[in-house]
Chains A and B, each alone.
Chain A
Amino acid sequence: MSDAPALVELRGISKSYGGVHALKDVSFAIRKASVHALVGENGAGKSTIVKTLTGVIHADEGQIVIDGEAASIPDPPAAYRLGILAMYQEPTVFQDLTVAENVFAGRHPRTRAGTVDWSTIRRRAKQLLGELGADFGPDRPVRGLGVADRQLLEIAKALSSEARLLIMDEPTAALSPPEVERLFDIVRGLKERGVSIVFISHRLEEVEAISDTVTILRDGTHVATRPTAGLPRSEMVQLMVGRSLDQLFPKEEAEIGDVVLRAEGLGRRGVFADVSFEIRRGEIVGLAGFVGAGRTEVARALFGIDRLDAGKVSIDGRGFRPRSPRKALRRGLAYLPEDRLTQGLIQPLSISTNTSLAVLPELTPLGFLRPRAERALARRFMEQLRIRAFGPSQVVRSLSGGNQQKVVLSKWLAAEPRILILDEPTHGVDVGTKADVHRTISHLAAQGLSILLISSELPEILGMSDRVLVMREGRLVAEIGRADATQERVVAAAAGIAEAA
């Protein structure tokens, strides 16, 4: 198997964003009819490789060789024509169209008259869905399908075309264990048909179970490509991390005080139920669980973005009904959203404008903005959070991802909140920035802030939190103190596996 010829070869691929290297001279080969795992921490460069292969971005240097010939992939349609397909974490489907049409969107089969051949579309979609063991029909609209079902749909799409390389980016993140098993069966079936699969997952046991070859990336560099069989998990971890956990997460000791926020029996119909917890002064509470477990939804409801259907919240012992973000801010609650680029920042404006957004009333005593106070505020946070920029007037769009994240953080810190909800605060930032963000979080807690930290990165949760809450399928399933919190315990709770003693 390992001497099968290469389908895709990356040769010396480099890519940088505004001086930060996302990929540095990465070379490896993906063999035909094999499952090739890509592992590495967040920010290691996995998604940059995916984007390069699918034509979303272009490498600064290096070459992609397909079937022994240099290939150029200028845009996603070109990748599609080469038989390279990617399934993203959140499947990209057409909500308004039926399942069957989604499978063939953009390349409808035609009758001899050149019209859309609906009977073929329905028949082939039905057949493909049957092969994949889907329990939904071809005629229903996609709107309302769950993540697992939409993934099946994406796979059906890939099967219906001449896919030669299927990239699965964290396909199991939102799946339950039986769904993962079913997905693996499908992946093995695809391999038998001669399709190569790039499999990206944070769960190393899945990598061991499904992949033939592993490529390990760290900070944008290629560390190793080896057969999975000869690579013990411990060694994989060592290669991925390359450093010990303590270095990564410098947690300051904080004095833990009274309960600041108490949530009792929170629920939102069809999303989460019976969520109760409390956060104390100076405490960092980690909220762990797989994507789709309902963590972000709880945070959004607390902050007044989505409506709560059940439950009570109190801040400092006084009742609080989350109705709008504005009200939440006034009670000292701030929320740093997961998708910082769309929800957290106004891209075309400057750092200082963005920083002052949540505190404008304080900066406009007579109805006129005081620009000097605004700039001073921005400078204070630029220093405190080490934001790399020319000055407060630099436009946010031109900053790197990590620095943008810090600007969002300053925006909320400027409001001087007492409870801060952080949703994936280091998603997609480089290692250096990550350490800065962690240092800041820890420092804020030491100053008496209460923090709810939502993260999919276990090391981050374990390193930062005083207490870890675990959610699964819309419910809080475990609460683990810092001393007892291990990777295994948290994963077991999140996956609903009874703990092995």
Chain B
Amino acid sequence: MTAGMLTGRMRVSTDTIFRLRELGIFAALMFCLLFFGVKANNFLTVTNWQDIGTDVAIVAAVAVGETMVVLTRNIDLSVGSIIGLTAYISSNTLQHHHHASLVVIALLAMGVGLLCGLGNGILVALGRIPAIIATLATLAIYRGILFEITNGQNVLASNLPQNFLNLSSRNFAGIPSLAWMAIVVAAFGAALLRWVPWARDFYAIGSNPDAARFTGIPVARRLVAAFMLSGLLAGLGGFMFAARFAGVDATSANGYEFLIVTAVVIGGVNVFGGSGTVLGAMLGAVLVATINDGFTLMRFSQFWQEFFQGAAIVVAVTVDAIMFRKLQDVLRRRRRPELANVGGRR
């Protein structure tokens, strides 16, 4: 039974490669912890970690929705604008209605986000506009709407009710409340992708769009659903943003799409669709936030912070590409084991 043993061993190696991705980010995270722990003052303190937790919460919650979109072989660049728009709507409503329930405000923000996502979904799934262009357009459109409704005004923290301002500074079991929200969202997202049939289709669509259509999956409807989820969670992110930064104006959350897509890509969600997990995206978000925090503590300039974020993307995508090629190589050899060692070992 040498043949059986051979394939058995190879099977283990491919599974390892699939899992390595998340282990890799985890290792990078550990390295950062060690490095900053030694180099940066106050890095390994509870308050610093609560700060990181609050910072990462917004990016992480929105990255869950972005993961759904990227899994279908698309991208949502409009999330930053949706966060800004819903952050303003949340805080502006609260400054006029001090006694409004925060749950209602959060639902309002998510509702607006959902509509924005619906717009994206319609453009991509029914309008057949490539997602990168469609959401680039809505990035500008949603931001434009925000400029129109703020009319140059901004919401000041002093005009907001105290219970809203307290939201971001309160901890439960030592974990900031915003981080709790992100954890709940991530658990919800992971469960959705694992247990809900229509969300499971995201993987199939991203893996092979034509085969998905032939199999009878309603591809257009699923794409709209993915974009709506992304919008919905960006709306929640807007609510969290308003609670975190208190003051909101027309330029709030500008460029957040960069942080969110970075988290997803570094987290190993394949930009060509079909593979990736919420857990990976969360690890990616934490990694990015940790690097930012460490550099700030070490008083690195803005240049180096941005530089390393960019470099991290390049490293992550390169590692993905190399691992994918290795995987292809392993699988190719398995196809004709007797020809596996042509040209010597390498």
Contacts and interface: CB of A to CB of B under 8 A. Distances in A.
Contact of B14 (A81, A95, A114, A144): A144
Contact of A77 (B207, B216, B274, B341): B216
B275 A473 contact: no
- Nearest 6 pairs of A and B residues by beta carbon: A144-B331, A309-B343, A310-B343, A267-B342, A96-B274, A77-B216
Interface in A72-112: 76-77, 80-81, 92-97, 101, 105-108, 110
B340 interface: yes
Contacts of A144: 14, 327, 330-331, 334-335
Contacts of A97: 203-204, 207, 274
B197 A116 contact: yes
A96 B343 contact: no
A309 B214 CA distance: 38
B339 interface: yes
A429 to B, nearest CB: 23
B335 A76 contact: no
B197 A76 contact: no
Contact of B196 (A80, A115, A267, A310): A115
Given A80-B216, A106-B216, A116-B195, A92 B208 contact: yes
Interface in B239-294: 270, 274-275
Contacts of B196: 114-116
- Of B11, B200, B204, B343, chain A has the most CB atoms within 10 Å of the CB of B343
Contacts of B331: 143-144
A269 B275 contact: no
Contact of A81 (B211, B216, B332, B346): B216
Contacts of B274: 94-97
Interface string A38-74: 0000000000000000100000000000000000000
Interface stretch (A22-30, A222-230, A270-278, A404-412): A270-278
Interface string A463-485: 00000000001100000000000
A97 B207 CA distance: 8
B339 A271 contact: yes
A122 interface: no
Interface string B13-47: 01100100000000000000000000000000000
Contacts of B216: 76-77, 80-81, 106-107
A273 B339 contact: yes
24 contacts: A76-B214, A77-B214, A77-B216, A80-B214, A92-B211, A94-B203, A94-B208, A96-B270, A101-B200, A105-B201, A106-B204, A106-B212, A108-B197, A114-B197, A115-B195, A116-B194, A116-B195, A269-B329, A270-B329, A270-B340, A273-B339, A309-B343, A310-B343, A473-B336
Contact of B204 (A81, A105, A267, A474): A105
Contacts of A271: 332, 336, 339
A143 B200 CA distance: 18
Contacts of B334: 144, 270
A93 B194 CA distance: 20
Interface in B294-346: 327, 329-337, 339-344, 346
- Of A105, A108, A271, chain B has the most CB atoms within 10 Å of the CB of A105
B197 A110 contact: yes
B207 A310 contact: no
Contacts of B344: 310
A146 interface: yes
A3 B339 CA distance: 51
A112 to B, nearest CB: 13
Given A116-B200, A272-B339, A106 B332 contact: no
Contacts of B221: none
Given A77-B216, A267-B339, A273-B339, A93 B211 contact: yes
A12 interface: no
A93 B339 contact: no
B213 interface: yes
B339 A94 contact: no
Given A81-B216, A116-B195, A116-B196, A94 B333 contact: no
A270 B327 contact: no
Nearest to A55: B214
B217 interface: yes
Contacts of A308: 343
Contact of B342 (A114, A140, A268): A268
A144 B342 CA distance: 19
B215 interface: yes
Nearest to B222: A106
Contacts of B195: 115-116
Nearest to A95: B207
A474 B337 CA distance: 11
Nearest to B340: A270
Contacts of B333: 269-270
Interface string B169-205: 0000000000000000000000000111100110110
Given A92-B208, A116-B200, A267 B343 contact: yes
- Of B206, B215, B270, B334, chain A has the most CB atoms within 10 Å of the CB of B215
Contacts of A93: 208, 211
Nearest to B337: A270
A115 B195 CA distance: 5
B124 to A, nearest CB: 20
B249 to A, nearest CB: 42
Given A115-B195, A270-B339, A96 B200 contact: no
A66 B204 CA distance: 30
Interface in A141-155: 141, 143-144, 146
B341 to A, nearest CB: 7
B342 A273 contact: yes
Contacts of A474: 336, 339
Contacts of A270: 329, 332-337, 339-340, 342
